[in-house]
Every structure is written in structure tokens, then in C-alpha cells.
A and B are shown apart, each in its own frame.
Chain A
Amino acid sequence: MSRQHRTPLKLTDNVVEVKSKFEAEYRRFALKRNGPGGFQEFYRLLQTIHRIPGADVMLGYADVHGDLLPINNNDNYHKALSAANPLLRIIITKKEGEPVVFATNSLQRRKKGLGLTGLRTSVTGSTHSRSRPGLMIGMPQNFRQISSIIDVDILPETHRRVRLHKHGTHKPLGFYIRDGVSVRVTSQGVEKVPGVFISRLVRGGLAESTGLLGVNDEILEVNGIDVAGKSLDQVTDMMVANSHNLIVTVKPANQRNNVVHRGTKTSMGNSGSVGSAGSNNSALSHDSPSPASQSNPITASNSIAEGDSDDDDDDEDDDGDLILENDCLAPYDSHLVTNSNNTNLNRDSPGGRSHNPGAARPLPQSVSLPNSVGASLSDSSTALSNHNGNPAHMSSSSQESMREDGNIITL
């Protein structure tokens, strides 16, 4: 291992040996380590080398730990180049209907004879006796924001406002709260007041995976409402009621990792978005030891969903009540139809939906979209405006939410 580390240093610093594989074919070539060019050029280069121009493929590389990691933007391309020792192994797969899962430890398994295409969610971790299943990393386009730090510009530096996105998944928010005593500095001096604290994070839960909430963090607000004077039960109920779009303002117990407020230097502006693949803000992920996880510190979702739900529906997320209107429908024969997005309110005519799972409907059904009239909280509206949503992720949210609802509703 140590010898391997030293070899590239002996070689010239600016050349990387690349071995790429597409289906059964291998190609070997060299690349300039610090050469110009980004992911797009590299992608085109591989297409020409493998003589597959125009084919829609996905790139993956094997990192030092033997994990298969994706290359899909400049950042991880450069990361892959810099981490190559000495060989950069590239694996090219065709984009097919079934998504490929990149995962840690995936290459070891491949060596044991499992084909790369056979790597499924179900395979990972289930058949292996290893106590820790590999960390699942979804494809970039499947990434969705699971958390963000918001309102950095208006909050004191000691506080942190975290938004957790559940996106209708089953994943619990994954933390526990407890009563405690908080010390406040008031005009009368130091005062001890009852407070609510995070007592425990569930392993693998949403809260833990964000790295933004920690044990003993004091909870100050829930969705803009001060928790002072509220009982533990009340705070619990408030959080559960807001679980679809939970915004908690905490005073972190560990104040060392606070977002430093340095005006224009913060590239994220006022919304430190965490969870996208390119995030390299190590300040936010204070407990990520391995470089692999650092490159992708937060994403820890098991579910593969297509399309991101857009960022503007969050306040109305929980309003996606499923409404079945079975006019004269035979009893107990109902199909799930839903559409939990307010972006397309005019699409409620039955013909407007090609994605209805219920193909054989005996009688006409009508589906209504939950509309969003309710008064939104004042703070959540500011949260909305502060949020830099990616317009590219606006696609096909309706289909995704349908899938989500379909999972939970039992008929």
C-alpha cells in the first residue's frame, strides 16, 4: 500500500495512467493530471476512444478504497484524477432503464464475481455478513436536497437554521429530543431556563446523515415558532406536524463548525446547500473521516427516486392529501391516483395524466389536486425566497410523488 503510494511520485507528476472498461473492452491511455479540460471533454474523449459516439453512458471510477464512484461533473472528475494512484480505473456503463448504483465497497464485490450491472440495492448489504453495509450513493440526477442551512445572513453566528426535507420518504427524521436546562445571558445576568435539546440521533437517520444536527444541540425554533415555554410533547408534536418540511433553529453544542460569515466569500450566498454532489464545504460536515465520504458527505438515502421534487412545494408538501372520488365505483375497487404538486393545477382533467397506474379503470374517476390556499407561515415564505432551487430539478415531480403516495396508501 505504501509502495503504491510512492510510485506515482516517482513518475512524472502530471501524467495519469487510465484504464477504462466498457462492457468487455479495455482501453489504456494517459492523461495530463493538471491538464485543462473538464468532465465534458473527458466524456467525449472516452466516447471516441471506445468508439461509442453518441451512446449515453455513465462513468465511474475506482477510488483508493476500492469504491465505485461516479464521474459526472468537473469536480468529481478532478477528484478522480488527483486520487489516481497510479492507475485511474474507469468503468463505463450504458444508461439503461435500470439505474446503476454506485456504492462503497462495490468493487471488492465485483472482484468476487458479481457483475457490475448486477449491483442492486437489494444485493448490497443484504447477502453479506459484513456488519456495515456499504454506503449507498445515488446517481447525481437522483440526488435531492435532504437538508440545508438557511438564513445564515439573518441569524446570529451561534445559531443554525436547518431545513430537513423528507420528500415523502419513509425515512424517519431520526432524532430524539429531551428536556434540559439552558443558560441564557439576559440583562439581569445569567439565567437558567428550561430548554429542549436533541438527545439522540438515530443511526442512518436523516438527521444524522445531514451532519447538521448533533446531540445536545438546543432547539430554539420549529418552523419559525419559538419553543420557549412549550412542553416536550408540544415540541414533538410541532415537529411531527411539520415533518414534511421541518425547519429547526438550533444552537449547536459544538460551536466550532459554525458557518463563518464572511460576506462575499461564502459562495453559497445565504443558503449553504448541503447534499449536492459537488458540495465541498468541509465546515458543514465535521465528522466525515474518509475522503470518500467527504466528497459526498451527506447523501444517505436508500431510496431511488426519479426526478427531484421542486423546491417550491415544500410548504404544501403535507397538503398532498390523497383524494379518491369514485363516482359510482364498485366498492373496494379503487385505484391510486394522486398528484401532489401545486405546480400544475390545471392538469386535473383525467386525460392529462399518462402516468396513472390504474390502467383498467372500470368507471370514470376524477382526481383532484390539492391546492394550496392555506396561509403559509411567514418564516417559511422567507425560507422559500432564500432558497436557491435548481431549476433543472423541476422535472417530473408529479410522477415521483405518485410513487411516494403509492407506497404508503394501502387500499
Chain B
Amino acid sequence: MKRFRRHGQESQRDRLKQELFQFNKTVEHGFPHQPSALGYSPSLQLLAIGTRSGAIKLYGAPGVEFMGLHDENAAVTQVHFLPHQVELVTLLDDNSLHMWTLKAHKGLSELLEIGRFTLTGPPGAPPSVTRVTAVLAHSSGELLLLGTEGGHVFIVEVPGFRELEERNISLDQVASSVPDDYIGRRNLEHVETLQENPVDPNQVVIGYGRGLMVIWNLEKQQAIQHIPATQQLESMWWTEDGGHLLSSHSDGSYCRWMAGGEDMNEEEEEKSDIPYGHFPCKAISKIIQLPTEKGPPFLLFSGGMPRASYGDRHCITVIHSKTHVALDFTSRIIDFFAIRGGPQHTGDPSALVVLVEEELVVIDLQTEGWPVIQTPYLVPLHSSAITCSHHVSAIPLKLWERVLAAGDLQSKHYSKEPWPITGGQNLAPDPPQRDLLLTGHEDGTVRFWDASGVCLCPMYKLSTSGVFHTDADPNDNMNQGTEGEWPPFRKVGCFDPYSDDPRLGVQKIHLCKYSGYLAVAGTAGQILMLELNDEAAEHTVEAKVVDLLQGQEGFRWKGHTQLDVREEPVLFPPGFQPFTLVQCQPPAVVTALTLHSEWKLVAFGTSHGFGLYDYQQWNNVLVKCTLNPSDQLAMEGPLSRVKSIKKSLRQSFRRIRRSRVSLRKHHVNNAAKLQDANARLEAELAEMELAPVQRKIEARSSDDSFTGLVRTIYFADTFLSDSSHNTPSLWAGTNGGCVFAYMLRLPAAERRTDELVTAQPAKEIQLMHRAPVVGIVVLDGHGAPLPEPLEVAHDLARSPDMQGSHHLVVISEEQFKVFTLPKVSAKMKLKLTAVDGSRVRRVGVAWFGSSRSEDYGESGLVVLTNQGDVHVVSLPTVKMQVHYPCVRREDVSGIASCVFTKHGQGFYLISPSEFERFSLSARYLVEPRCLVEVPFRTGSATQRRPQPDGVSSAHRITTQDGEAAEVLQEIQKSLEGEQTSLLENNVKNAVA
């Protein structure tokens, strides 16, 4: 009977679990790693990026995102949208073609692969015959022209990929009509490019690698005109009126040819130019020319730089009338296109979109000076390498606006124009709350991202390097070009992987969302306290040195030195401004940081110990050295591991040298012994490198290195000494499985500035299994985690239950243990490692709302293990709830970068530049929900460029919708205050 009842409870619990937890990888934020192809559909207003790993990503208006992945793991080399349709074709490195479409399903569009095709040549033909080098999606939307390495052009019907053999343009057909005087009719080489005549879709031009261009009539299946260029062809462009062809060549030249004349032999190149000439130039890889309604056309081309002096620059040149600019990018150019204004996208070029290897840059061509338009998505997260991240949920509107205002002041140099890529509709509901993701970077900056929705938008950038003296002179501006410089370079883009000083790197961030205090800790033991200020201010920041060694002897710091603080006043722009600096000594990396804005205390830990700093009085309250005297590694600094290998190598060599020396002394059989020694060295080296993978089974002992490293630090207002009086307390957990608890005595609020804060040691727990302590949480009488500081004061959380007894949860890499308070004794535990061999790498506390009923929810621990699995562990009973595989086990940096939100979501880096967002909550899910409609076609296939006055009705509808959505958003925003409080009420109810 009992068993049956228990079974019933189990199934009920299972059902509840389904309502609470659900695992989804929802969206990838940031810039795709290793992009390899770019495509654009003017009619859909969608941008497509293919990557080297075989992913295809589509972007439209902010929030409109699609992602697909080819089954083959081959790089995407070309992406082409079929004109006026929702299909696109991708060409992969393995010579396969794939057809993708945007299918509407339940009112939402999805990106689906609907076909794949590999060109098959005649039997026995070499593979080069069918190796596709050029693709033209014909404007009829029914044909695909595929130029190959063998020089043939295959014509394929789409979307079914049916080969139209009778219409193929073979090399023989073309070669037979090549004029005799064309360099002895040598091999024409591969098809480099295919272009369609913008006014006559029956005419295409085939550009061969050797330089010959042939205008071909598809209907009559014959060559109309031959253009005998003599240089290796790189690209071609057919001007909009169909009257001219532009060709760019490998010697850095471009030529303009008259097209349409029937007289093929008389055709002369009208104009030829090497823009950066005289000296040998690099190839112009792509050239486009766009007309303007009144005035000269825009000419845009990439490359063509003088080989010797600027061959290493990645440039796109824009020439319009007298203006000539060489846009200088920081990474390799993949591809570019121009967006044209006007209702049918046939007007003046409005923006230039450039995909470079590390970012997407959009340049406003309408505004004077051609400023850059800030991208709402595809932002390079890694403009400097990401060193840490911190997520803050449910930001109060006031702080949000102040951060935004500070960010706006920073982005003054950006164009005011709206984002030019506007395809699709974002149907995602407005995010329930405002979330901030803060990323710390190697160059000492902290970037604030709006992480509430699908788009990870940059909000504000904080630089901490101004406080310190660095090698780089702030006046040394790379952007300043000297007058009259040729080529007229202009630096664009923000990707800058070079850090002036690695010590500036940000390691830990803690933001109090209620008070606007921010603590930022770095690689060289610096902890900056910052405050949000809407005005610029100039002041000096004084460093308070904290000696964490506490007179511990026998240790010598061999790592980096601390950063030099500027002694003169520094001007800080509006935004977060540092007001005090704590400098740890020795200046080791800060490994733990927490801030309590209500008590005005900040606690920090390094590999040597931890400290508590009162940032109200600028006074250090507590220092505790956690070093173990036998731990040499911690002292010597970060390089000692490397040294040990070096040392052993050196020893090996010394041994040989010694043996050589002794050989000489003894005048014995030199060669044999030398050989012997060499063999021994070889064996030693082999042993070092090729030692079989084996693992020693040895329990941790106290002499493991870095046992004193402080892993986590935590503030709690709880019962530390007796069960009737709760007191502020500080908890710190170390790598050696030790937890220290201190009781804090805070003066009354009115005397807070005068009296000192004191800390007394209260408890110490040494976990027997000695695994590193990665998290400490105190649960209130109801078993709910204690709220954040000031949360209760702002009426955003219910005050913790102080009646029931509190519990301490210590999360080590191996176990979750619950202890009673104030008397610490073990109550419950979950031995994770003992059961499945995985270790806790990341842990967070999250609240899960039920998807079924509004008012039910529970708190839990979210855990990422070294196996890449995410687990949810219930609180306060520490029972495993669910687990899902999330990150690849080998992806160590991905696992290390993971950060959890308070509502069961998480982020981790899937590449240096991309965050993957996942959700464990069944209620909160941020994922792209968008619709792309089939474009409304005004003209027929033959006359596809309508007059400028013909405004597409479909377009009008979408804009109206967009406006309506904006209005809705406004209303939503005004209501949002209530919404969050409603949410918090739910939390309270659930807890109660």
C-alpha cells in the first residue's frame, strides 16, 4: 500500500518537473565564428551568412533570425537568394548545392532545407568539369546557372534541381566562336563569374578566369559578344542600364566595357584604370557600380592596394564624385554588398554592408562623412577577448535608462540612420523583464549588453584602463590619417584583438542593480568600485593596498607586478566612474568577488586569501590568508607549470652535456656513448609526450596546489552564532574544500560613516573530501535562498523567513551538502562525483516558474558539470531533478564561460565571438519568433524593374505592422513596472 502511494507521488512529481523544467537551446548571440559567405535578398530584405562549419544564418529586422546547419560539415562558399522568392541556394566546399526555404508554420517562419544537389558530368569526365565555381540565380527564379572549373556552364531548374542538359553552355560552344586573335585561343580556364543583364534577363555574361567575357543569349543559345580582356579576371558587374560591363582583374585594374553592341570584334575597352597604380597592386576581388538619381554613380571595390606598401590592408574603396575613401578593416574581407534606397530598392545606394572575418560593418552612404551604423545584432562580442561574464536579471527601469543614456553619449559617432536591413517581422512577445549581460574583456573594458530579447544589443562600454598608466598613449589615435595621404585610409570596425596590457583584463564583475554600484576586479589583483554618475567628473582614484599574505613567510611572488595607478586626476565620462580602488598584494588574479550595497561592503578573494573592504569609509575591514605553507605553486605566480616542463627539458639536456663532457675527459668511445645519450634523451622526450593516457587514483591531500585559492565568496544575513539573533555574515570557500564564516558587526545606519565595521571569525568547515568549494548559499526558514541585498528594501522580494531555522548549502565540485545553522552539522547531501564521475564547474541559483499554473514555482540550483551536462538540483532537499547534455565535453572554454540567470537561463561561448543561449525553464524562454512573407511581385519576369512610383503594397503592410508593434511596445513598457511586481508576487506566493 505504501509503495503504491509513493508511486503516485513520484508520478505527480514527474508531472511537476515537466511543468517546471524544459531544456532548449534558443538562440546564438554575437558574430558567427569564421564566416565564409554572404548573401542578400533586396526583396526579402534579409541577409544570409554562411560559415566554415556549415551553418547558415539569416538576419532581417532586429529580432528576425534564422539558423540552419548543413549536415555535411563543409564550409559554405556561396549563398544566393533566388530573386523575389523565399528560397536560397548554398554552395558548399564539397561541391554540393543546397536549397533552403523559409516555411511558415503556425504563423512563424522556419528555415528548412528542401533539396540538395550535386552536379554530375558526363561519365568519365574529370571532377573539375563539375566543380562549381560560379553560381547565378536567374531573375526568373526558375533557373540556376552553374559555372564550373572546367569552363562549362550548367543550367539547372529550381527548386527541383532538374538539369536542363539541352541548355548547357559547354566550353566548346564558346571556344568555337572566340575570335582568332584572342591570344591564340588558349585555354579559357574556369568560369569566374556569371552575371545577368539587368534589363534583359535573356542575356548573361560568362567571365572566364583567363579574362575573356562572353555575353550569351540564353534563348537563342549563342554568343552575342566577346570581350577580350587580357588580365586574369576577378569579378564583373553589369551596370544597371545594361549598357556597360565592369571587370576587375588580378593586377589591381578595372575596366569598363560597352555592352550590347552586336559588333563583337570592334568592341574596345572604354576605360581602364589601376586606381592605386604605378607600383604593382593586388587584385580587385569585387567591383560594383551603383547609379544615383542625380549625380555621378557610386563605385565600390575591394582590394587593389599597392602590393608592397599596403598589401596587408583589408580595404574597400568607395568613390563617389570627388569623394574617395579607402575603408580600412581590421580583418579579412569576406564579401560586401550595397543596399539601395527607395521603395523597390532601386534608388540611391543607402548603405554599404561589409562582412569581414570578425564583424559586420554597415556604412551609411547617405549621410555626409559616411558614418558607421551601429549594428543591432551580429555585434562582435570578442572585439577584445572575453575574460568573464556576469548576468543581472530584472533591471529596474531607472538604472536601465541611465545606462542607456550613458551608452548613447558614447555612440555619438554612429550614424543616426535606422538599421537598413528590415526584412521579416519580429513576432516574439516583449521580454518579461530587462536583463543585462556584462562581459569583461582582456583590454580592461566591461561591456553592457541588453540580453532581454533575441538580439544581444550593446548598451554601454566601460573602460577601466583610464585609472592606470598603460604603455599605450591615449592620444595615439590610430584613426587619424595625415592630410593628403594616399590611399585615403579610414579605419572602420571595432574588432581589435590586441590588448595593451594583459593585467588590465577583467576577471570578476558584480553589479548591484538597485544602487548602481559596480565592482570590477582584474588580473593584477585590482578591485575597482564604480558608481553610476550622469555627469562627467574629474578626480583621482587612490589605491588601497591590502596585504593578503598576512606575514606568511617563505613565499615569493614571481608573477606580474601590480598596475600603476595614475596619480593625477582623471576625467571620467558620464557613466560608471571609479571612486575607490583596492589593490591586493601579491597582485594575483582576483578569483572571487561579491558586493553588498546595503552594507556598503565588497569582498574579494585571490589565490592567497580574501579580504573585506568597506567602500563607505574606504577602509579595509578584514584580511585572511588562506595559504597552505606547503603550497608553493600559489606563490610563484602563474607561470610555474610551464617552468616545470622547461626545467625538466633543461635537465635532460644538461645530463647529455654532462655526459659529453665526461666523455671528453675520459677519452673513451665517444660516438657510442653520445649515441646512447641521444637515445636516452629521445626516450625521455617520448615518454614525456607519448606517455599512455592513464590517471592516477589518489585522493586529494592538503598539499595539493592552490588549496588556498578562494573560489567563492558570499554575504548572508543569517543565524551564525545563535538561533535567535541574525547577524550579517561573510562566507568564503576555497579550492581546498574549506569554508570560512565571519560574523560582521555593522554600526547603526546613522553612525555608519563614523564607526568601524568589524568582522570576527565564527566558523570554519573543512570538507573531508576536499573538493573545491564552488558555491555557498544560505536558505531561509522556508528553504528559499536569501534575497539579494536591497531587493527587499525595493519591495521586489519578500523578506526572508527568519522564524524557521536557516540552512547552509555548500556546493563543492563533488557534492552538494546542506548544513544546519547556527550549529553547523551536516543534514543532507548529494554526492555527484561519487555517482556519475562528473564535477561541478558552474553553479547558480534560479527560480523556476511552472508553465501550467501562474502562481507555482520553486528555487533550485542550476549546475553545469565538466561533462557539459546541465543539472537542476532541488532546494532545500538537494535532489537531482533533471539533467540534459548541453555543452560538448571537450569544449572546456565553453564550459568555463557559462553563466546562469536567475530565471533558469544560461549563456556560454560556443566560439570566441558567440554566446549560445539556453533555457532550463519551462516558463521563460527567449527565442526568435518571426515571420517572413513571400515578397509581392509587381512586375513579370521579363520586366522586373518597375518604375519608382510603383510602391509595393506588401511593403506598406509590413511597415504598418512595424509601427503597430512599436506602439504596442510603448504600451508594454509603461505597463512593465506592474508586470515585474506581479512576477515578484508570484515568487512570493510560490515561496509561501
Chain A interfacial positions (CB closer than 8 Å to B) = 166, 170, 172-179, 199-200, 202, 222-223, 225, 230-244, 317-329, 331-332, 334, 340, 366, 368-374, 377, 408-410
Contacts and interface: CB of A to CB of B under 8 A. Distances in A.
| Category for how many chain B residues contact A | 35 or more
Interface stretch (B87-95, B162-170, B756-764): B756-764
Interface stretch (B215-223, B491-499, B690-698): B690-698
Contacts of B702: 408-410
A319 B768 contact: yes
- The list of the 7 closest CB pairs from A to B, nearest first, reads A234-B837, A243-B699, A241-B833, A322-B766, A238-B837, A324-B764, A236-B695
Contacts of A320: 768
Contacts of B767: 321
A222 to B, nearest CB: 8
Contacts, number: 165
B838 interface: yes
A324 B740 CA distance: 9
17 contacts: A173-B698, A232-B695, A238-B834, A241-B771, A241-B831, A241-B833, A243-B698, A318-B769, A323-B766, A323-B824, A325-B762, A372-B826, A373-B826, A373-B827, A377-B835, A408-B701, A410-B628
A372 to B, nearest CB: 8
Given A237-B837, A238-B833, A368-B823, A374 B828 contact: yes
Nearest to B743: A328
B332 interface: no
Nearest to A173: B697
Contacts of B833: 237-238, 240-241
A340 B767 CA distance: 12
Contacts of B768: 244, 317-322, 340, 370
B471 interface: no
B402 interface: no
Given A166-B699, A374-B831, A178 B693 contact: yes
B629 interface: yes
Interface of B: 628-630, 692-702, 721, 760-769, 771, 814-815, 817, 823-831, 833-839, 866-867, 889
Contacts of A317: 768
B837 A243 contact: no
Given A233-B837, A238-B836, A172 B829 contact: no
Contacts of A173: 697-699
A241 B830 CA distance: 12
A212 to B, nearest CB: 14
Nearest to A317: B768
A326 B814 contact: no
Given A173-B699, A177-B694, A236-B697, A324 B765 contact: yes
Contacts of B814: 237, 241
Please indicate which of the listed interface residues B696, B697, B768 has the most CB atoms of chain A within 10 Å of its own CB.
B697
Contact of B835 (A225, A233, A331): A225
A376 B833 CA distance: 14
B766 A241 contact: no
B825 A235 contact: no
A321 B768 CA distance: 5
Contacts of A178: 692-695
Contact of B700 (A223, A231, A240): A240
Contacts of A334: 761, 764
A369 B825 contact: yes
B721 A327 contact: yes
A405 B897 CA distance: 36
B699 A172 contact: yes
Contacts of B692: 178, 199
A232 B693 contact: yes
Contact of B697 (A223, A225, A240, A340): A240
A244 B760 CA distance: 34
Contact of A241 (B630, B698, B769, B889): B769
B695 A176 contact: yes
Contact of B629 (A202, A234, A373, A410): A410
Given A176-B694, A240-B699, A235 B837 contact: yes
Given A326-B763, A369-B825, 10 more contacts: A173-B698, A234-B867, A238-B833, A241-B831, A243-B699, A324-B763, A325-B763, A325-B823, A368-B823, A374-B831
Given A200-B694, A239-B697, A244-B768, A327 B829 contact: no
Contacts of B721: 327-328
B896 to A, nearest CB: 16
Contacts of A239: 697
Contacts of A174: 697-698
A237 B839 contact: yes
A329 B762 CA distance: 7
Contacts of B763: 323-326
